[in-house]
C-alpha cells in the first residue's frame, strides 16, 4: 500500500509539474485553456475556475491541458479567435509545447539542489589504504577527508582534482578522526601505470570494517564455517584491516579452487578454507555484509549548493545519454533497463525505504527522464508539436490539419503499444 501511495503521489507531482508548464505558458500567452487534467479516463473530481476546468481522472498515468484551437478545424463562437492555439504564431506554439519538458528539467535542478542544501553529502572516508603509497603511513581507515590544500572535499571527484592540482608538491590534508580534526602533510606520488598523481587511498562515502555483520545461510563463507561477528584478520596469510582489504586480497587469488582465511572469533583466531572453484568475487561474497562506521553528512553553502546541483543535473543528463548510446550500440538491452509503471512503482517503494535523500535522487531522475523524453520529436510528444511549428516557420505554411492529426494519432497508438509491452515485461520480472 505504501509503495502504491508513493507511486501515485510521485506520478501526480511529475505530471502536474509537466502539464502545469504547458498550462502557465498557454495562459501567459493568451490561449484559452478548457481543461487542466491529471490522469485520463472518467472524471473523478473537478472544479471550474474561470474558463478552465481542473480535473482528477481515474487513470493516473499521465495528464493533459486541453486548449481551444488545438484542432484547427474546431469552431466555437463563444471563444475569441485570438485565443485559439492555432491563431498564435508558430514561435508561440513552440514555447507552449516546450514549457512542459522545461518544467520537468527545472524541477530536476530544484530537487537536486534542495536535496543538497537539506541533507548534504556524505563526507569522503578512507575505506582502504594502498600499501607503499604516501597515505599508508599517515592516514587510517575510517578517516574522514575534510579538505586538501584548502580545497573543501565534498566528493571523490573533488579529492582527485585536489591531488592532481598538487603536481606532486606536498599538500596539507585535514581529516576528522574519532571526532577530532588533524592536519597532515602528504606528498602525492605519480603513478606511471595510471598516469596520474595518487596519495594511495580508496575513497568512499562509507567505510566497511573487516567484521561480518550479516551472513546469508546460503552464502559461500557461511558454508565454509564463517559466522556473524567474525573478524577476517588475514587472507592467505596477508593481514586485512578493512572490508575492502578482504575483497582485494581474495580477488588477487582468483581464479582458484580455495582460499584460506583467518578469522578472530571470541578472541581466538581460526582458519577456514573457502571453496571458490569457478566462482568470481561477486558470487563468493553474495549474501555477505560487513559492519560499517556510518555516514557523516555535510551541507554545502548556498552558492556551492547551486553549483553542485547544476553538476548533478549535468551528471544525470550524461547518464541518460550514455544509456541511449549503449542501447544504440547494442551494449545495453533496452528490455532489461526500461521500466513501466510497475517497475517504476517497485523502484520508488524500494528507494523510499532508504530515506528521503535517496528517494529524491530517483524522483529527480524520473523528472529529468520525463522532460527529455517529451523533447523527442516523435508524434504525440511535445517535441513533435514543436517540430511541426518549426516546420511551419521554415516552409511558410502549416502542414494540413488532417495529416498532422493522423500523424499524432499513429504516434499515440505506438506509444500506448510500447507502454503495454514494457508493462508486460515488468510483470514477467516480478516472477524471476
Within a domain: 345? no
Within a domain: 321? no
Of the candidates 292, 307, 330, which is a domain's last residue?
A: 292
Shared-domain flag, residues 81 and 19: yes
Shared-domain flag, residues 142 and 38: no
Shared-domain flag, residues 197 and 159: yes
Other CB atoms within 10 Å distance of the CB of residue 384: 19
pLDDT of residue 74: 65
Q: Is 348 exposed, middle or buried (0-12, 13-18, 19+ CB in 10 A)?
A: buried
Within a domain: 175? yes
> Rounded to whole angstroms, what are the CA distances from 339 to 56, 410, 419?
25, 23, 9
pLDDT of residue 189: 94
pLDDT of residue 73: 66
Within a domain: 52? yes
Shared-domain flag, residues 161 and 218: no
Other CB atoms within 10 Å distance of the CB of residue 51: 14
C-alpha cell at 419: 507502454
Shared-domain flag, residues 104 and 22: yes
Shared-domain flag, residues 97 and 195: no
Within a domain: 348? no
pLDDT of residue 2: 75
Which residues are CB-contacts of 249 (< 8 A; sequence separation ≥ 6)?
Answer: 234, 235, 236, 238, 240
Of the candidates 148, 170, 204, which is a domain's last residue?
A: 204
Q: How many CA atoms lie within 13 Å of 137's alpha carbon, on the beta-carbon side?
A: 7
Q: What is the CATH number of the domain that holds 196?
A: 2.30.42.10
pLDDT of residue 251: 94
Shared-domain flag, residues 127 and 97: no
Within a domain: 58? yes
The range of the structural domain enclosing residue 149 comes to: 123-204
Within a domain: 312? no
Within a domain: 369? yes
Domain count, the chain: 3
Shared-domain flag, residues 60 and 81: yes
Shared-domain flag, residues 369 and 416: yes
**What are the average pLDDT values for consecutive 10-residue runs of the chain, which has 432 residues?**
80 91 95 91 90 88 86 74 90 95 95 92 92 92 94 92 94 94 95 91 93 94 94 94 93 93 94 93 94 90 90 87 80 72 80 82 90 90 92 88 85 85 77 68
Amino acid at each position: 500500500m505504501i509503495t502504491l501511495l508513493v507511486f501515485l503521489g510521485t506520478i501526480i507531482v511529475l505530471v502536474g509539474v509537466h502539464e502545469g508548464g504547458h498550462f502557465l505558458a498557454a495562459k501567459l500567452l493568451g490561449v484559452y485553456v478548457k481543461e487542466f487534467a491529471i490522469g485520463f479516463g472518467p472524471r473523478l473530481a473537478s472544479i471550474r475556475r474561470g474558463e478552465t476546468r481542473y480535473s482528477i481522472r481515474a487513470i493516473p498515468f499521465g495528464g493533459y491541458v486541453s486548449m481551444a484551437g488545438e484542432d484547427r478545424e474546431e469552431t466555437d463562437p463563444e471563444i475569441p479567435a485570438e485565443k485559439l492555439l492555432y491563431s498564435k504564431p508558430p514561435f508561440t506554439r513552440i514555447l507552449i509545447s516546450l514549457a512542459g519538458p522545461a518544467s520537468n528539467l527545472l524541477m530536476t535542478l530544484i530537487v537536486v539542489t534542495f536535496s543538497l542544501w537539506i541533507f548534504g553529502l556524505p563526507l569522503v572516508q578512507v575505506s582502504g589504504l594502498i600499501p607503499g603509497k604516501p597515505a599508508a603511513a599517515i592516514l587510517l581507515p575510517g578517516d574522514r577527508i575534510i579538505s586538501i590544500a584548502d580545497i573543501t572535499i565534498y566528493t571523490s571527484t573533488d579529492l582527485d582534482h585536489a591531488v592532481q592540482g598538487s603536481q606532486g608538491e606536498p599538500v596539507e590534508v585535514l581529516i576528522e578522526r574519532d571526532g577530532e580534526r588533524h592536519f597532515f602533510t602528504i606528498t602525492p606520488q605519480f603513478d606511471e601505470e595510471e598516469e596520474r598523481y595518487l596519495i594511495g587511498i580508496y575513497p568512499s562515502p562509507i567505510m566497511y570494517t573487516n567484521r561480518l555483520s550479516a551472513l546469508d545461510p546460503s552464502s559461500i563463507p557461511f558454508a565454509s564455517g564463517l559466522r556473524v561477528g567474525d573478524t577476517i584478520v588475514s587472507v592467505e596469510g596477508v593481514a586485512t584491516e578493512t572490508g575492502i582489504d578482504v575483497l582485494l586480497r581474495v580477488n588477487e587469488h582468483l581464479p582458484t579452487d580455495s582460499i584460506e582465511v583467518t578469522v578472530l572469533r571470541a578472541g581466538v583466531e581460526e582458519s577456514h578454507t573457502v571453496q571458490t572453484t569457478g566462482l568470481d568475487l561477486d558470487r563468493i561474497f553474495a549474501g555477505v555484509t560487513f559492519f560499517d562506521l556510518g555516514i557523516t553528512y555535510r551541507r554545502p553553502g548556498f552558492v556551492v549548493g547551486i553549483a553542485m546541483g547544476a553538476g548533478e543535473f549535468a551528471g544525470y543528463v550524461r547518464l541518460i545519454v550514455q544509456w541511449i548510446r549503449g542501447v544504440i550500440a547494442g551494449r545495453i538491452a533496452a528490455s532489461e533497463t526500461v521500466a513501466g509503471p510497475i517497475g517504476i512503482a517497485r523502484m520508488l517503494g524500494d528507494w523510499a525505504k532508504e530515506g528521503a535523500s535517496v528517494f529524491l535522487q530517483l524522483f529527480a531522475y524520473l523528472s529529468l527522464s520525463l522532460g527529455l523524453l517529451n523533447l523527442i520529436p516523435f508524434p504525440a510528444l511535445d517535441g513533435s508539436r514543436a517540430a511541426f511549428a518549426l516546420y511551419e516557420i521554415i516552409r511558410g505554411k502549416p502542414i494540413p490539419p488532417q495529416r498532422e492529426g493522423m500523424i499524432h494519432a499513429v504516434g499515440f497508438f505506438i506509444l500506448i503499444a510500447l507502454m503495454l509491452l514494457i508493462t508486460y515485461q515488468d510483470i514477467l520480472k516480478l516472477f524471476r
